[in-house]
Amino acid sequence: MRSFWKELPILVIIALALALLIKTFLVQAFSIPSDSMQDTLQRGDRVLVDKLTPWFGSEPERGEVVVFHDPGGWLGESQTKSSGPVAEGIQKALSFIGLMPSAEEKDLIKRVIAVGGDTVSCKRGGKVMVNGKPLDEPYIFPGNTPCDEKPFGPIKVPEGRIWVMGDHRQDSLDSRYHQNLNNGTVSVDDVVGRAIVIAWPINRWTTLPVPSTFDQPGLGAAAAMAPSALGVAGALPIVLWRRRRLIAKVRTEAESRPERLTADC
């Protein structure tokens, strides 16, 4: 029994170290504080966020639900409500090991609609358009329109940035409402990770896959054309140079052929 009590502190330290490691590099739990992602996410849901993939150079993709740091003023000057020293202590302890978000952190959760190189727009009465392709968005909150309350675009998303929108379009201060700062786009460096599953409450457990509308053919055509265009532009001078050499060679042979015939005679 004594040996157990001697080893217990070591076991606790190891457990905390592993929890901190998982929180920092693998997954972290976040609580949903608002209705901006309804009906996909409800207020009070706990989601697990994949923080590992970005470490390997992966960037957010269209259709993913991502958590990101406030790019600057999106959350405004929100006041933190005091919940008492005991509750605050528990939250700090749980946030340290990744089971709850920190009260000091200002993070948001939205859906990625467009990525670097894309052109995104939406007219009143129409659908959200990405690179000229309309999105079919069954995840939008029932009764909402794609953008009637806030039409936008066309906006070209810079490389290394994303355009995000909430699923509850009429209750989400997303990229549409912050175009005074980087045209409403968010830097991929501010992205904490992708929300992959609703972990709590148990009766709402489900994964958060990318909707099929983001897999439609040609959606990424604009971005995909850029490397091809550069390849063609780079190859064109080489083709022209080889053609000039071929024409010059043919002319030289044509001019020398009569001389050879005369000598043969």
Q: Which distant-in-sequence residues (6+ apart) come within 8 Å of 2 by Cβ?
A: none
Q: Which are the catalytic amino acids?
A: 36, 110
Tally Cβ neighbours within 10 Å of residue 39: 13
CA distance 20 to 16: 6
φ/ψ bin of 127: left (φ > 0), alpha (ψ from -120 to 50), beta (otherwise)? beta
Question: Could you please report the per-residue DSSP string of 74-98?
Answer: SS-SPPPPP--HHHHHHHHHHHHTT
Look up residue 33 and give its two tokens.
């504080």
Q: Which residue has the tokens 């005369």?
A: 262
Q: How many CB atoms lie within 10 A of CB 114?
A: 28
Q: Distance between CA 256 and CA 247 in Å, rounded?
A: 14
